[in-house]
Amino acid sequence: MLCLLSAAVGAGILLSTGLGGSSAPSAAPGTTIPGAPAQSGGPSRSADPDTGLLRGLVVQQGDVDATHQIVLIPGGNEVIGQTTLDLCNGNFPSESTRSARLQVIEGDAQAQGVLSTEAVLYQSPAATAKAFEELKHVARTCPPTVVPGVNGDPDTKTTFRPTPDGSWPKTPTVDRLAYDFDSIDQSGQSSHSVVVYLRRGRALLGVYFFMPDGPQPSVGGQTSIPGIVNFFAARLAALPPAAVNRTVPATTIS
């Protein structure tokens, strides 16, 4: 989720964890460690045997400036009750075939959300292929009017700009969809976002840029959106073939 998130909303998530108010934020008390399982009694846990791979896909503390902080979003390691695909508030039946999920957000020194990454495992490679087809369909048919939100997303009007990745480098074995759009909610609040979906086998990685205009804060030494996307695509390409090409049961609660 959070492809409709603005930098301001991201800041609210970061501040709720205790970050902000410091030029060099550190892990706050109560901040969940990225990749940790949901606490006992939480809504869902993944039984996927490859869940641990997700920690190596998302943005990590060592990837970013020392003054930035990486935080697990609320519900970020849960599947049931959480959304991954929310482009244009569309309908994505493939959501039911997810088996594991991890989403973190990067905050700058002012606790402003600048980037989020969401790593997801699906039941099979066919399931991520279906997710990509659903994304293409929703983008093609997104109406020029306000679309009601789902699962807590606000009612939003989405206006797509030209596809941004025509000249971006490609990563062998990794499929990519990229969208550049403006969102306006019913209060008139607007935001500009670039969202990129990467796919290899049954693994999907969403990279969400909340402030896409101009140079980006460095991630893995990259300061452009194409460079940052390529950085994450390389991680996806390095996953073990046996893990991304297998079929596993859908999400279960344990």
CA distances in angstroms from 253 to 1, 62, 78, 85, listed in the order given: 20, 32, 10, 21
Joined together, the tokens standing for residue 254 give 């344990």
Contact 91, 21 (CB under 8 A): no
Residue 65 backbone phi and psi in degrees, to 5: -55, 145
Domains and CATH numbers, the chain: 7-16+43-245 (3.40.1000)
* Residue given tokens 């569309």 in the structure block: 90
Average pLDDT across each block of 10 residues of the chain; the chain has 254 residues. List them in order. 51 53 31 36 66 98 97 95 95 96 96 96 98 99 94 90 98 98 93 98 98 96 98 99 92 48
Quote the pTM value.
0.86
> What is the per-residue pLDDT for 251?
59
Which residues in the chain belong to E strands, given as ranges? 69-72, 98-107, 113-122, 156-160, 175-185, 190-200, 203-209
> What is the per-residue pLDDT for 41?
33
Backbone dihedral region of 153: left (phi > 0), alpha (psi from -120 to 50 degrees) or beta?
A: beta
Contact 231, 198 (CB under 8 A): no
Which strand ranges, in their side-by-side order, compose the sheet holding 98-107?
69-72, 98-107, 113-122, 203-209, 190-200, 175-185, 156-160
Burial 139-161 (b: 16+ CB within 10 A, else e): beebeeeebeeeeebbebbbeee
* Residue given tokens 């279960």 in the structure block: 252
In sign, the C-alpha dihedral spanning 112, 7, 63, 166 is negative
